[in-house]
Structure 1
Amino acid sequence: MAVLGETTEASNNSLSHEITAKTPLFNLKLYAVIAILVLCLLAAALLIFLCLRITRVSRKRKMRVKHSSGSIPLVSKEIAEIKEPSPRAADNGERKMGNEKLKEAPQEVTEIVDIERGKGNRSGLESDGSGPHNIGWGRWYSLTELEIATRGFSPENVIGEGGYGIVYSGELQDGSVVAVKNLLNNKGQAENEFKVEVEAIGKVKHKNLVGLIGYCAEGAQRMLVYEYIDNGNLEQWLHGDVGPVSPLTWDIRMKIAIGTAKGLAYLHEGLEPKVVHRDIKSSNILLDRKWNAKVSDFGLAKLLGSEASHVTTRVMGTFGYVAPEYASTGMLNEGSDVYSFGVLLMEIITGRNPIDYSKPAGEMNLVDWFKGMIQSRRGEDVVDPLIAVQPPPRAMKRVLLVCLRCIDLDVHKRPKMGQIVHMLEADDFPFRSETRSAR
């Protein structure tokens, strides 16, 4: 027994000596080397796990991007309009303009603005949980969806830029091509413009107005998703480098003018409350491949109730297009848009900018120059020289008269947009003035 005890004690002493003995690896003891190896194995296992996780996420993103291929309709098929009961609608019923049925425009979007995924549906509408909220003002898009559609808001996708923000082209997962306006958040301006655009055209559908497909309200981000119009804007075609002969013939220019007038007539006369655009100009008239005009950019629009013929508001708009009474007093009504349309119509006819400081002193202001030419009986000389085939004298005189009536300094003498449509489409001169009719 004594021998066995001595043998065990010797064995333990030998094992302890081996563990504490120094090794050739940096002269470290054996137990330190073992601890380092264990830590290395743990780190390798953690690294492998992270790599697998990243690979899995990357595959999911690729699958989502691949889904965006296919046919390219101009308008998303995922738009859904949910009808909301409104006591006002029940009292007034449906209004008609032409063959199109019009319903009241949305009054409030305060609760809609801050809807985010996971925060519930504050509009009171139920969601089936299968996807983004679909409400009466278009489809709700997540920030991730729009990032994928615009390739991470790539500079290569930029199709427009201004003080309001940046517009990107994008392709949604269903293949729809859209225009995504990312509003700049300057002192709450993005929030204000977001509310105005959704209120003004959220439920409006008209062939001469750019359609609002949906929106994104996530955190501080405010984005609007529109149908994509693939032929630029009127300003580019009027003032860009188009060569010695403009592709905008007289007939095409009249088609654009009539389409714009119809869109404005719908806003003024087909909706309740009516909408005053406040920023009618050539860069806000988008064109498709068939030269159909679509009025865009409702960020400055104002909703006016039928009981108020005008309202005092902060003067906003683009220099050269703003009605003089609005600029001086801030009094706003549909006549302000009519004046701006008159300036736009002059621009379409002449190919000149409303304000052009490169012209001689008497020609810098388009309205003043235009009036002077008409008074001097030189109306035929105002037509854009880039138009290859000059218009018939009778048609030209009719359009010149429409211009003069639209820019009348007396707002009450300006025609309504619906009347302007008839005047531009008529084969003979416009209807006689109210004073002559009264006689």
Structure 2
Amino acid sequence: MEIVSGIFKLHHPNIAEILGYCSEPDYQFLIYEFQQNGSLHGFLHLSDDYSKPLTWETRVRIALGTARAVEYLHEVHSPSVIHKNIKSSNILLDAELNPHLADCGLAPFFEDTNENLGPGYNAPECTKPSAYTKKSDVYSFGVIMLELLTGCKPFDSSKPKIEQSLVRWAAPQLHDIDTLERMADPALHGLYPPKSLSRFADIVALCIQPEPEFRPAMSEVVEALVHCVQQDDWWGSGRLSQK
């Protein structure tokens, strides 16, 4: 009950709002506000004839909104909250495709299980749930940014072994602009400013550093993404260059 009470105290425009909960001996569940466009995972990875590909502008906006949610958990809310389960299926999109981070405050439920350790999202130091820190959340967020950049899943066993782990495949290529443009999600059809793509990749590279101490705080990630937005003079103007 104390944990659930704490969850109801989390208030931020980019955190999914909880409307209620149910706790029975055999099961527990939370009731979230309905978000019309489902999850980011569904938009990026599930085939749906009714959904349209996310534009580059929308992808950067989703990254920024999600970063602000995690910044709130880490640096604004008292006591600070480590999410431990940041993944694209926990980012819900409303009618305007604004992101709402779900599962916030549920980390205590995962202390003795591996339920939160989704393949491809785990920081190298996270060999067990108790090893999670704020910097582990930053790593998982960096993986989500990679998903937005490439349209690829964090781990895909159907691909050749060298490409199965998104981080291992993408990390060495993030600072090469020619390779980076080949990595970009084909669904974008080249409709992005190359400098914006490069700035976005630079932020990803910081977030997925193997050593936790070299990863930025989420406030720094937010600042970098805001700068990325401000540097793009096409933002909101519809002027995009096609490669």
TM over 0.5: yes
Kindly state the Cα deviation for residue 375 of structure 1 after the two structures are TM-superposed: 5.8
The partner residue of 2:85 within 269, 279, 303 is 279
| 1:50-69 pair list within 5 angstroms | none
- Spell out, residue by residue over 1:274-303, the C-alpha distance to the aligned partner (whole angstroms, 9 max, x if none): 111111111110001100000012474259
C-alpha RMSD of matched pairs (Å): 2.6
Q: Distance in 1 between matches of 2:172 and 2:15?
A: 34
Q: Which residue of 1 aligns with 2:186?
A: 385
1:388–1:267 Cα change, 3 Å: same
Higher strand share: 1
1:420–1:216 Cα change, 3 Å: same
Q: Which residue of 2 aligns with 1:323?
A: 123
The code of the aligned residue for 1:338 comes to: V
Q: Distance in 2 between matches of 1:221 and 1:347?
A: 32
> % of aligned pairs identical?
38
Kindly state the Cα deviation for residue 258 of structure 1 after the two structures are TM-superposed: 0.7
Q: Distance in 1 between matches of 2:155 and 2:221?
A: 24
- Spell out, residue by residue over 1:6-57, the C-alpha distance to the aligned partner (whole angstroms, 9 max, x if none): xxxxxxxxxxxxxxxxxxxxxxxxxxxxxxxxxxxxxxxxxxxxxxxxxxxx
The partner residue of 1:409 within 188, 202, 210 is 210
TM-score norm. by structure 1 comes to 0.48
Kindly state the Cα deviation for residue 397 of structure 1 after the two structures are TM-superposed: 0.8
Aligned partners of 1:207 and 1:294 also within 8 Å: yes
The code of the aligned residue for 1:275 comes to: V
The partner residue of 1:422 within 223, 229, 232 is 223
- Spell out, residue by residue over 1:88-112, the C-alpha distance to the aligned partner (whole angstroms, 9 max, x if none): xxxxxxxxxxxxxxxxxxxxx35xx
Q: Distance in 1 between matches of 2:190 and 2:55?
A: 7
Which sections of structure 2, spanning at least 5 residues, go unmatched?
233-243
- Secondary structure in 2 matching 1:261: helix
Q: Which residue of 1 aligns with 2:47?
A: 241
| 1:207-246 pair list within 5 angstroms | 207-217=13-23, 222-242=28-48, 246=52
Aligned partners of 2:45 and 2:152 also within 8 Å: yes
Q: Distance in 1 between matches of 2:128 and 2:136?
A: 12
Q: Which residue of 2 aligns with 1:262?
A: 68
Q: Distance in 2 between matches of 1:407 and 1:199?
A: 33
Which sections of structure 1, spanning at least 5 residues, go unmatched?
1-108, 111-194, 304-311, 430-439
The code of the aligned residue for 1:260 comes to: T
Q: Distance in 2 between matches of 1:257 and 1:300?
A: 22
Kindly state the Cα deviation for residue 390 of structure 1 after the two structures are TM-superposed: 2.4
Aligned partners of 2:175 and 2:201 also within 8 Å: no
Aligned partners of 2:7 and 2:105 also within 8 Å: no
The code of the aligned residue for 1:323 comes to: A
- Secondary structure in 2 matching 1:213: strand
Q: Which residue of 1 aligns with 2:141?
A: 341
Q: Which residue of 1 aligns with 2:158?
A: 358
Q: Distance in 1 between matches of 2:134 and 2:150?
A: 25
- Secondary structure in 2 matching 1:324: coil
- Secondary structure in 2 matching 1:251: helix
The list of structure 1 runs, each at least 4 consecutive aligned residues, that deviate by more than 6 angstroms after superposition, is none
Aligned partners of 1:281 and 1:321 also within 8 Å: yes
| 1:5-404 pair list within 5 angstroms | 109-110=1-2, 195=3, 198-217=4-23, 222-242=28-48, 246-298=52-104, 300-302=106-108, 316-327=116-127, 330-374=130-174, 378-404=179-205
Q: Distance in 1 between matches of 2:25 and 2:106?
A: 23
Larger radius of gyration: 1
Kindly state the Cα deviation for residue 212 of structure 1 after the two structures are TM-superposed: 1.4
Q: Distance in 1 between matches of 2:145 and 2:35?
A: 21
Kindly state the Cα deviation for residue 408 of structure 1 after the two structures are TM-superposed: 0.8
Aligned length: 226
The code of the aligned residue for 2:125 comes to: E
Kindly state the Cα deviation for residue 406 of structure 1 after the two structures are TM-superposed: 0.1
Aligned partners of 2:81 and 2:105 also within 8 Å: no
- Spell out, residue by residue over 1:107-145, the C-alpha distance to the aligned partner (whole angstroms, 9 max, x if none): xx35xxxxxxxxxxxxxxxxxxxxxxxxxxxxxxxxxxx
Q: Which residue of 2 aligns with 1:175?
A: none
Kindly state the Cα deviation for residue 376 of structure 1 after the two structures are TM-superposed: 5.5
The code of the aligned residue for 1:356 comes to: D
1:219–1:302 Cα change, 3 Å: closer
- Spell out, residue by residue over 1:387-415, the C-alpha distance to the aligned partner (whole angstroms, 9 max, x if none): 13421111111100000000111211111
Kindly state the Cα deviation for residue 217 of structure 1 after the two structures are TM-superposed: 4.1
Q: Distance in 2 between matches of 1:376 and 1:260?
A: 26
The code of the aligned residue for 1:241 comes to: S
